[in-house]
């Protein structure tokens, strides 16, 4: 049995305390499960009732309506959001959109979305805007999310970056450079320099749900990871993930119910139609139509191997 792990802790040197499990809001929204506002808010509320006090979203997720409902009266919940803005003007627009969207007067963490080593420089004006917003109390901490080992290494040396949200899973599924071991080492070094770290994709976008206790538990147990963001779209998934991250026993019935949920291969709307997945699939389940990948569900065996070659991480089993 895994040792029980603490439920809460500091996010680097930000002065912010978060739950070790972070609710990833992508899955409840229109890009994935497309739940009704009330259904999605109910999943969030169940997570909050369990003890989750940390939520991750992004402008592209379009999940603000769920958050606006679920966050009412819950000022203790730490909210992180992300933007692709690269100018000060774009960053300002994103901040005001987020504030209005969730019905708050502040955002706890505002991150640059999906940075690599090069774009960290190109998006510098947006980062500097968020630093000014931080000085005004509109934002509590700033940073970036990334699928890149090189970006984590670079971010570790930037004094004005408070938080890094890196892709971390046992196989390195979705990394744009480096290996899983190299990412873990880069994150450990960044954390040692005081960066708040909350990991993403520990379950590989859903590919490792059949072995969730090991895949998620491995990342959650790392002493240099302050929290792990996991996408959830049912109350039972929230319960399962909470137990795993805490290192608590998972009832067999809960494990079976979550594992039995129907799954499908999702192609995200940002697919570029590069056809790498088509070449990788040995079952002829993927083709390119109108510039993006299309799935033949009758042929797809949900192995997830196609995701290992997707440069945009737009293929997920959900």
CATH number of the domain that 138 lies in? 3.20.20.100
Residue-level pLDDT at 303: 63
Write out pLDDT tens, residues 177-235. Answer: 999 999 999 999 999 999 999 999 998 877 787 788 999 999 999 999 999 999 999 99
Mean pLDDT (the chain) is 93
59 within some domain = yes
Residue 237 CA: distances (Å) to CA of 46, 104, 203, 244, 291:
10, 27, 12, 11, 33
Domain that holds residue 283: 265-317
2 within some domain = no
pLDDT band at 262 (very low <50, low <70, confident <90, very high): low
Task: Please report the DSSP string for 296-316 in residue order.
Answer: -TTT-----GGGGG-TT--EE
- Return the CATH number at 313: 3.30.70.20
* Whether residue 148 is found in the same domain as residue 275: no
Residue-level pLDDT at 1: 43
Residue-level pLDDT at 302: 63
279 within some domain = yes
219-236 burial, b if ≥16 CB within 10 A, otherwise e?
bbebebbbbbbbbbbbbb
- What mean pLDDT is predicted for residues 112-135? 97
Write out pLDDT tens, residues 82-105. Answer: 999 999 999 999 999 999 999 999
Give the domain-ending residue among 259, 286, 307. Answer: 259
Is the entire prediction scored with pTM above 0.85? yes
* Whether residue 160 is found in the same domain as residue 34: yes
The answer to whether 82 and 200 are in contact (CB under 8 A) is: no
pLDDT band at 11 (very low <50, low <70, confident <90, very high): very high
Share of the chain above pLDDT 90, in %: 76
pLDDT at 136 over 50: yes
pLDDT band at 133 (very low <50, low <70, confident <90, very high): very high
Task: Please report the DSSP string for 266-295 in residue order.
Answer: EE-TT-----HHHHH-SSS-EEEETTEEEE
Give the domain-ending residue among 259, 275, 292. Answer: 259
294 within some domain = yes
305 within some domain = yes
Residue-level pLDDT at 137: 97
* Whether residue 248 is found in the same domain as residue 298: no
pLDDT at 273 over 80: yes
Residue-level pLDDT at 263: 72
Q: Is the dihedral of CA 277, 216, 268, 130 positive or negative?
A: negative
- What mean pLDDT is predicted for residues 162-187? 94
* Whether residue 255 is found in the same domain as residue 275: no
3-class SS at 24?
strand
């Amino acid at each position: 049995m895994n040792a029980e792990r603490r439920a809460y802790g500091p996010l680097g040197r930000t002065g912010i305390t978060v739950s070790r499990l972070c609710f990833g809001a992508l899955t409840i929204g229109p890009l994935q499960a497309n739940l009704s506002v009330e259904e999605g808010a109910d999943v969030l509320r169940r997570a909050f009732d369990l003890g989750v006090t940390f939520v991750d979203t992004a402008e592209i997720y379009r999940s603000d309506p769920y958050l606006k409902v679920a966050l009412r009266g819950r000022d203790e919940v730490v909210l992180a959001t992300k933007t692709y803005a690269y100018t000060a003007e774009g960053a300002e627009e994103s901040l005001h959109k987020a504030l209005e969207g969730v019905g708050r007067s502040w955002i706890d963490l505002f991150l640059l979305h999906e940075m690599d080593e090069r774009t960290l420089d190109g998006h510098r004006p947006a980062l500097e805007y968020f630093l000014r917003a931080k000085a005004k109390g509109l934002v509590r901490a700033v940073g970036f999310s990334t699928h890149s080992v090189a970006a984590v290494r670079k971010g570790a040396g930037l004094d004005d970056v408070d938080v890094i949200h890196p892709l971390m899973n046992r196989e390195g599924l979705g990394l744009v450079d480096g290996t899983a071991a190299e990412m873990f080492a880069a994150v450990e070094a960044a954390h040692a320099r005081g960066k708040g770290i909350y990991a993403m994709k520990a379950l590989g976008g859903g590919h490792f749900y059949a072995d969730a206790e090991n895949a998620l538990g491995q990342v959650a147990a790392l002493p240099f990871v302050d929290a792990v963001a996991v996408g959830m779209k049912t109350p039972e998934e929230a319960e399962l993930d909470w137990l795993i991250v805490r290192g608590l026993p998972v009832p067999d019935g809960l494990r079976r119910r979550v594992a039995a949920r129907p799954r499908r291969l999702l192609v995200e709307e940002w697919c570029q139609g590069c056809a790498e997945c088509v070449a990788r699939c040995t079952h002829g389940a993927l083709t390119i139509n109108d510039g993006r990948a299309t799935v033949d569900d009758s042929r797809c065996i949900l192995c997830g191997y196609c995701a290992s070659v997707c440069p945009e991480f737009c293929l997920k089993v959900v």
